[in-house]
Structure 1
Amino acid sequence: MTRIGITGHSKLSAESVPLVREALSAVLAPYENGDLVGVSCLARGADQIFAGVVLEAGGRLEVVLPSVDYREAKVKPHNLDQFDDLLMRSSLVRYMPHRTAGREAYEDANETVLGGIDRLVAVWDGQPADGRGGTGDAVEAARERGVPVDVVWPEGARRE
């Protein structure tokens, strides 16, 4: 069983979504034999695209939510259906011990993801994080631990 986590930009342009989905499908293709577990915090953008690709590949999805109020506080109305669909299709949901979403909750969620994976996929444009806990920080933390990182940023992808 291979456990692969995701980190990535949440604000991807609409044109970037199919490009990122295709790139993630290529990265996950070697693990389509049924032994894939994807670990995601289900943030919009890269996390949700990854979660969908994991399920399409026949893998299992495990979700790490940063706080008890994450859905109500952070999931936008236009994204609720997709979030709920992925959450219902997950095989395991873990909540971090935080009542409210915030920087500490996100850092703890990222730490939990990093602590339970064999590889990390980063949908990342290579730019430094703007604040603690961003994609760049997760990539750096994974590399410091010796966790292999696959950076995905297909040509033509851009942030909103």
Structure 2
Amino acid sequence: MKNDKKEKERALSEVKKIKIRTFYSILGICLLIVIVIGGKVYMDNKRFKDEMVNVVNSGQAKKVFEEGLKNLDSKALTTDGIIQSYEVDYNSIEHNPMGGIMNKLIINKNEKLYVRVTLSKNSNNELEESGGGVSEDLRELLDKEIKVDGENR
């Protein structure tokens, strides 16, 4: 009887060990799947962000940016203009849910002076500005310049 009882305990102990191993194996497999899926999502997002940065850095985008700035300030990117220089804020680059790439141009290296630009492709597969806006501080400077020019005429 004692032997039967010991055998039953050993058998239960073995079953417990098997259950624990199975549990840890399943847990490990689940963790591995989560890590693989997370890595894939991260890499896809990084690749997508890199593609958007490449578009924003392209010559076509530069042309669109400069045309837009000259529409705001006819003397833009000259020493006579309010907008003398610009740089892309790479941290602001985002995908627009309606399509296109949103980003911010810092004007004259002043964080308070900026232009938001949304780039999208037209029917000819060329980049164009499809939206955006101007910071309040830059708008005030541009409006002052328009008033001064209007009074000088």
Answer 1 or 2: which has greater helix percent. Answer: 2
TM-score bucket of the superposed structures, by smaller chain: under 0.3
TM-score by length of 2: 0.22
Answer 1 or 2: which has greater strand percent. Answer: 2
User: Which has the bigger relative contact order, CA under 8 A and spacing at least 6?
Assistant: 1
The structure that has the greater radius of gyration is 2
